[in-house]
């Protein structure tokens, strides 16, 4: 099974310098380091196949089941002619976690981890004490995982949210529906000194936390230590456009040309 039941929680990561297939493998290794076990279920596609969204591959994609130990050789590209598009894992207490790609330019797709988000259904103001305990167990697994991947893999930016999709920089800058809570790398904040203050203003009703390689901005209580929610429905789109514009400019100045990411 490679499609978690909705609603979906997404942890997603964009890196300007690491090839997307390497990024997928690196994220999966951090997932395994957190205790996840590969199910052996993969979706593979021909190497070199171009796509915008993973769903674009259509009949070119095959779902296969391999021994768990073979998952890593396939993620590392050791099977000529094929690449992994989706990989299934099991991680307590999240259950099925699927690693895949989000929409992006060829070679620069964000990598996403998807799992079912029933444990943190909206709105949290209506949760019973039992639901709140369940949500805290869930978020206690999710936020440290997000932090570990950001610090180990070093994405330019990342996001964590329910039914929220992280896009490449230029698409994110133009999107009317932004990501959820966001991580921004120090190198991007150093490139655009005004970005930190702009994002701090966006998330002023939420929570900001300094991580080893960047800053985490949270707008929803289950995903931050202070259990604080920013009551601003326009926040995701506004913060996403700020983040996308800064990242797109950074990549242009770094010489990462080609298609819009």
User: Which tokens is 118 given?
Assistant: 């029933």
Q: Which residues of 195-207 are buried (b: 16+ CB within 10 A; e: fewer)?
A: bbebbeebbeebb
Which pLDDT value is given to residue 100?
A: 97
> Does residue 141 carry a pLDDT above 80?
yes
How do strand 157-162 and strand 181-185 relate by DSSP bridges? antiparallel
Any idea which of 21-30, 74-83, 115-124, 144-153 has the lowest mean pLDDT?
Answer: 115-124
Which tens digits make up the pLDDT trace of 103-130?
888 889 999 999 999 988 767 777 888 8
Which pLDDT value is given to residue 261?
A: 62
Long-range contacts of residues 160-163, Cβ cutoff 8 Å, at least 24 apart? 160/9, 160/10, 160/11, 160/12, 160/218, 160/223, 161/9, 161/10, 161/220, 161/236, 162/7, 162/8, 162/9, 162/10, 162/117, 162/120, 162/122, 163/6, 163/7, 163/8, 163/10, 163/117
Which tens digits make up the pLDDT trace of 43-65?
999 998 989 888 889 889 999 99
Residue ranges covered by each domain of the chain: 8-253
pTM over 0.85: yes
Contacts of residue 197, Cβ cutoff 8 Å, sequence gap at least 6 = none
Per-residue pLDDT band for 256 (boundaries 50, 70, 90) equals low
Tell me, rounded to whole angstroms, the distance of Cα 109 from its chain centroid.
11
- Share the mean pLDDT of the chain: 92
């Amino acid at each position: 099974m490679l499609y978690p039941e909705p609603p979906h929680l997404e942890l997603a990561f964009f890196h300007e310098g690491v090839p997307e297939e390497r990024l997928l493998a690196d994220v999966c290794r951090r997932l395994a380091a957190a205790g996840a076990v590969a199910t052996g279920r993969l979706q593979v596609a021909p190497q070199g196949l171009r796509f915008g969204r993973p769903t674009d591959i259509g009949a070119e994609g095959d779902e296969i089941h391999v021994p768990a130990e073979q998952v890593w050789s396939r993620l590392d590209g050791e099977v000529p002619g094929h690449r992994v598009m989706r990989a299934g894992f099991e991680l307590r207490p999240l259950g099925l976690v699927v690693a895949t790609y989000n929409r992006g330019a060829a070679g620069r797709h964000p990598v996403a981890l998807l799992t079912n988000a029933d444990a943190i259904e909206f709105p949290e103001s209506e949760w019973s004490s039992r639901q709140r305990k369940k949500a805290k167990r869930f978020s206690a697994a999710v936020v440290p995982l997000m932090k570990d991947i950001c610090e180990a893999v070093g994405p330019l930016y990342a996001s964590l949210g329910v039914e929220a999709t992280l896009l490449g920089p230029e698409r994110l800058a133009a999107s009317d529906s932004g990501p959820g809570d966001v991580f921004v790398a120090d190198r991007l904040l150093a490139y655009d000194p005004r970005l930190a203050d702009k994002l701090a203003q966006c998330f002023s009703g939420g929570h900001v936390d300094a991580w080893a390689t960047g800053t985490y901005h949270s707008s929803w209580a289950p995903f931050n230590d202070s259990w604080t929610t920013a009551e601003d429905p326009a926040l995701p789109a506004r913060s996403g456009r700020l983040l996308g514009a800064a990242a797109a400019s950074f990549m242009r100045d770094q010489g990462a040309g080609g298609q819009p990411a």
